[in-house]
Amino acid sequence: MMPLGNRTGELASSGALSRASGVDLRVAGLRKLYGSVVAVHDVGFDVPAGQMISLIGPSGCGKTTTLRMIAGLEQPDIGSIVAGGRVLVDGEARLPPEQRDLGMVFQSYALWPHMTVFDNLAYGLKRRGHARAAIAGKVAEVLRIVGMSDYAARFPGQLSGGQQQRVALSRAIATEPGILLFDEPLSNLDAVLREQMRFEIRSLQQRLGITGVYVTHSQDEALAMSDQIAVMRDGRIVQIGKPAEIYGLPRSRFVAAFIGLTNLVDLRAISVDGNGVAGSLSSGAIIRARVGAIETASSGGTVAVSIRPVEIAIGRGAGAGNAENRLAGRVRTTAFTGGLIDYFVDVGGGLELRVQTTPPAAAEPGDDVMLSFAADRTVVLAD
């Protein structure tokens, strides 16, 4: 391995470019192979200072491997990583994990079971040579921030799962890292606690202004906690953008289906003009779409469109709804889930659409209904 000192000028220049551009973390061209299997292929993204990016995708998509390469727990075969103006990886020049100024929150909490909460937090500070009084002050401050001041003398086995995760988060921020990494930290919690911790972590990250990289398979976590979302599949980033963009303007069937619920509908014999795309369903009904990957569509062909269930209005009677797209159908079944009601509506031609509204119910199974949805909320997909 080439010593870092042999490339001081080149590496410093690369790091300075990242810092000067307002980017706190720059990942470029990462590639990781395990034998003949490409786990990560040409992954790259920038994270501005104080922002959070979520890497999301199914198991085996490369998101955790990417995070571990940032942390230094895995080494890329190709690519570079610059954090806080310092080069962590560039060719053969690689900083060891302990010199990267990163904090990490693990899925398993990874707390020392034989140490109290105080000692778990103090451990990293002691290793950095801080004085005893400074350590006590810092630990007290961090425990206060996360609401765990009364638990300093307890051992991890005496805490609930949510409390253990707060301790793990406290330990990660106690050393004031430049960047905080999260490896599916909420997956071991129950649904209610997971939602609560989601907002607590996001609030803390924003309040402290820490740059974060968050790995998750949960669309809800990614949407709620991120400034950017990078959707990964088969080792590649297939779409990256703000949460509202990823949700509202997915580019592919995969992204549309993975981030939120959607209806994927094929339109045939389409026409393309300045107003977007128009095409027919198998029932013969005409659907219009004005947003998305319209540039990939060609007249006379077929396209897939995404229609979110919450974007569809449902009403009884032919005059119900006034949006540009209108489909008559019959409610096959409904499901009450608390804040939403799901309707599964047969619109003919073997096509069933899922619709979601807030209570009270707009229709019952067996009712003839009219569905309506806007063309500018009907998204043309690129595949």
Residue 202 shares a structural domain with residue 321: no
Residue 191 shares a structural domain with residue 75: yes
Residue 209 shares a structural domain with residue 271: no
Taking each continuous run of H as one helix and of E as one strand, the counts in the chain are 9, 22
Q: What is the pTM of this model?
A: 0.87
Tell me, what's the pLDDT at 319?
A: 65
- The pair of structure tokens assigned to 63 is 């998101």
22 pLDDT exceeds 80? no
Tell me, what's the pLDDT at 185?
A: 87
In this structure, the number of other CB atoms found within 10 A of the CB of residue 97 comes to: 14
pLDDT band at 189 (very low <50, low <70, confident <90, very high): confident
pLDDT band at 91 (very low <50, low <70, confident <90, very high): confident
Q: What pLDDT digit, counting tens, does each position of 255-314 carry?
A: 999 999 999 999 998 899 888 999 999 999 999 999 999 998 988 999 999 999 999 999
- The CATH code of the domain that includes 370 is 2.40.50.100
Residue written as tokens 């301790």?
A: 167
Which one of 248, 280, 310 terminates a domain? 248
Ranking 119-133, 277-291, 346-360, 364-378 by mean pLDDT, the lowest is 119-133
194 pLDDT exceeds 90? no
11 pLDDT exceeds 80? no
Ranking 115-124, 193-202, 240-249 by mean pLDDT, the lowest is 193-202
Q: What pLDDT digit, counting tens, does each position of 133-167 carry?
A: 998 998 999 898 888 899 999 999 999 888 888 89
186 in a domain, yes or no? yes
Residue 29 shares a structural domain with residue 96: yes
> Which residues are CB-neighbours of 129 under 8 A, at least 6 positions away?
none
Residue 235 shares a structural domain with residue 266: no
Angle CA 141–170–151, to nearest 5: 70
Give the span between the Cα atoms of 161 and 142, in whole angstroms. Answer: 19
Residue 307 shares a structural domain with residue 188: no
- Domain hosting residue 202, numbered range: 4-101+177-248
Residue 332 shares a structural domain with residue 270: yes
Residue 239 shares a structural domain with residue 276: no
Residue 183 shares a structural domain with residue 226: yes
> Whose CA is closest to 266, among 351, 163, 157, 189?
351
Find the mean pLDDT for residues 82-102.
Answer: 91
> Whose CA is closest to 354, among 318, 320, 321, 310?
310
User: What total of structural domains would you count in the chain?
Assistant: 2
